[in-house]
Structure 1
Amino acid sequence: MTVESRLLEIFRSVFANDHLVIHDSTTAGDVPGWDSLAHINLMFSIENEFGVRFTDDQLMSFADVGELRRFLESRTQVA
């Protein structure tokens, strides 16, 4: 399973939307319901799924989904 597909599953779960589509350019403004609480839930879910820990600065620093994906790819082993 790719980082991209794992992220999509997390996004769909956090935002309770089985039809949600994300792209590298997706930002919080593109996803209905992506507010500060949803962001924390999203990041916590990503930490659990990928076995990473975000610093306080990183929690709010990713400009878009692509930047987040590249970060995760650099820190995880993808089969």
Structure 2
Amino acid sequence: MLSELSEIFADVMDLDEVELRDATTAEDIEEWDSLSNIRLVVSIERKYKIKFANAEIEALRCVGDLVDTIIRKTS
């Protein structure tokens, strides 16, 4: 799943590639700002055919949290 998310992150942030780890946060990626975060959420919702509640989005602190939430919502 990290490789799929890396592709989404790279596309949204207009980067050649992004190497994600579970511990990666917005502080680790310069281009990850509030606007790109909204675009990430929309892209991920479309890719995995899920919807995030506002509280879920606010609770995400790192990529690992995002992965866990996607897995929970798609299982």
| Same fold, judged at TM 0.5 (above) | yes
Q: Which residue number corresponds to residue 7 of structure 2?
A: 9
Q: Distance in 2 between matches of 1:54 and 1:48?
A: 11
- TM-superposed CA distance for 1:30, in Å, is 0.5
Larger RCO (CA under 8 A, 6+ residues apart): 1
List runs of 5+ in structure 1 lacking aligned partners: none
Q: Once superposed, what is the RMSD of the aligned Cα atoms? A: 1.2
Residue 68 of structure 1 corresponds to: 66
Match of 1:40 in 2: 38
- For 2:66 and 2:54, how far apart are their aligned partners in 1? 15
Identity of aligned residues (%): 35
Partner Cα separation in structure 1 for residue 43 and residue 63 of structure 2:
14
Cα offsets for 1:40-79 (capped at 9, x unmatched): 01111110101110111112211100111011122225xx
The structure where helix makes up a greater share of residues is: 2
Calculate the TM-score normalised by the size of structure 1: 0.85
Please, what TM-score do these two structures have when normalized by structure 2? Answer: 0.89
1:58 aligns to what?
56
2:23–2:62: 8 Å Cα contact kept in structure 1? yes
